[in-house]
Structure 1
Amino acid sequence: MIIVLLGYMGSGKSSVGRILAEKLSYNLIDLDDYIIEKENTSVSEIFKTKGEVYFRKKETEYLKELLQLEDNTVLALGGGTPCFAGNMEAILASDKAVSVYLKGSLQFLSKKLFVKKAKRPLIAHIETEALMTEFIGKHLFERSQFYNQAEIHVVTDNKKKIEIVEDIILELF
């Protein structure tokens, strides 16, 4: 089985994925890390030198490659991955994959990301929490139609990562 974790930036895909993989004795693959390894450069460098269209093309190519894995795997996606190039359809069409939406509320994600914005190039320039809420609100509005197609939805607000993992396991098994 491939457990595909999706959701907005800051929803916990990578950190929850690590704990979930460990608890289930599954492999863990972070799609962004996989792209970095395959392309031999950082995601921000790919965006800067080759552009978003190239990145999204590679992201789709590698996602489809990973959806063919035979090993039990937790696959943590980038926040935008489900929203481009039929990626969500590919995930849902895979007989090996189950999709899990880590769903954070606008207020929860805004507060969490505003504090950690320096580490995230996409939002580092946002100066106030109100502007952060506006930015994330717009993104969530655009992306929710894709996220909401996931087979399992787990609310992440004010939960410890282990609680989120336990919720996922309850839904899966």
Structure 2
Amino acid sequence: MAKNKVILAGFMGCGKSTIGRILAEKRGQELLDTDHYIEQKQGRSISDIFATQGEEVFRDMETEALRELIQKQEPMVIALGGGLPIGGNLYGEEPVRQRALLRGERNRELLAELGYVFYLKITPGEVYRRLKGDTTRPLLQTEDPYTRITELLQQRDMWYEKCADEIINVEGKNKWLIADEIIRKLSRIEQNRQSRTGETK
């Protein structure tokens, strides 16, 4: 199976879908957003899935989506849901936490098979500025969204870094320049991979 997907990971509001569209256009490839993929498959919104079936059911849907994407042979750009590399609520009750840890580990293994992961790193303040008033984000429906953003980002940062081939700081950067930076780094990764492959032949 070809490791031919460009994968964008990061917290909600970091620009995965926007930058993904630019990358897909520049590379002449399809953009697939895992949240939209699940919504289309289920015929309802992420918010509705959270409300009626709960977060754990949604997280299982994310893992299943990765398994399905591995079967697709064509190159593409993939924008991940913000919690996909983590696998669920790592700070919940013990059975929930254990399932999340196992799911997250499996998700990161699948991502490594699927392609090259770029973590779009952002600060809590910038996320809050971008998403303030957004009612479509289930995890931000709270009286103090800034504190919630800060807590979630602190919890998730190490897991984003763990699955990333490259980390891209997006704060204050033009989206087109971010896309160009990813393309440059991707080219270097692929060249290094080809060099290692050549050495082992």
TM-score normalised by length of structure 2: 0.77
- Report if aligned partners of 1:3, 1:99 keep a CA contact under 8 Å in 2: yes
Structure 2: segments with no counterpart, 5+ residues: 88-102, 188-201
Give the ranges of 4+ consecutive aligned residues of structure 1 lying more than 6 Å apart after TM superposition.
none
Question: After superposition, what is the alpha-carbon deviation per residue over 1:7-54, rounded to whole angstroms, capped at 9, x for unaligned?
Answer: 000000111101110111011100011101111111111112222111
Q: CA deviation at 1:119?
A: 4.4
1-side partners of 2:64 and 2:185: how far apart?
Answer: 29
**What residue is the counterpart of 2:152 in the other structure?**
139
- Report if aligned partners of 2:17, 2:33 keep a CA contact under 8 Å in 1: yes
User: How many residues get paired?
Assistant: 166
**What residue is the counterpart of 1:168 in the other structure?**
182
Residue of 87, 97, 117 corresponding to 2:134: 117
2-side partners of 1:135 and 1:112: how far apart?
Answer: 14
Question: After superposition, what is the alpha-carbon deviation per residue over 1:85-125, rounded to whole angstroms, capped at 9, x for unaligned?
Answer: 12123212x0x4000101112332232222x5344343244
2-side partners of 1:133 and 1:47: how far apart?
Answer: 21
**What residue is the counterpart of 2:19 in the other structure?**
16
> Any idea what SS the aligned residue of 1:57 has?
helix
Amino acid at match of 2:121: K
- Report if aligned partners of 1:6, 1:78 keep a CA contact under 8 Å in 2: yes
Structure 1: segments with no counterpart, 5+ residues: none
Residue of 60, 64, 76 corresponding to 1:61: 64
Higher-Rg structure is: 2
1-side partners of 2:136 and 2:50: how far apart?
Answer: 16
2-side partners of 1:21 and 1:172: how far apart?
Answer: 13
Identity of matched residues, %: 38
2-side partners of 1:28 and 1:60: how far apart?
Answer: 18
Amino acid at match of 1:17: G
Amino acid at match of 2:26: K
1-side partners of 2:50 and 2:123: how far apart?
Answer: 28
- Report if aligned partners of 1:14, 1:30 keep a CA contact under 8 Å in 2: yes
